[in-house]
Amino acid sequence: MTEHRQRRIGGARPGAGRKPGIRNRLTQESVAFARETGETPLAFLLRVMRDEDAELERRLEAAKAAAPYCHARLSAVQVSGQVAVSHEEALAQLA
């Protein structure tokens, strides 16, 4: 009978995986592109969005892609508490 070795599958292994602080391949490529062209992907999207000669559909797609990096996404907030004065009463107090 031959001796079978058990292989470890999955789980943490010493020395495996990306080292702490090392950027992933996509991030490295983005940084390299920005260095080579002098333009970040966000700056490119904003330039396309502002290009009046570009097709409207292309400008809209660039605006949609850039929006999350320029404007915070608002979220719903639960309001709790008692309202002591009605809207009408507050207006009457101002008059």
Q: How far apart are CA 14 and CA 30, in angstroms?
A: 29
Query: Cα–Cα distance between 46 and 66 in angstroms, integer?
Result: 7
pLDDT of res. 49: 95
pTM of the model: 0.46
Can you give the C-alpha Rg of the chain in angstroms?
Answer: 28
Question: What are the structural domain ranges in the chain?
Answer: 25-94
Look at residue 67 in the predicted model and tell me its pLDDT: 94
For residue 63, pLDDT over 80 is answered with yes
Whether residue 77 is predicted with pLDDT greater than 70 in this model: the reply is yes
Task: Retrieve residue 71's tokens.
Answer: 């404007």
What are the pLDDT digits (tens) for 1-51? 455 566 667 778 888 887 887 777 877 887 787 788 888 889 989 999 999
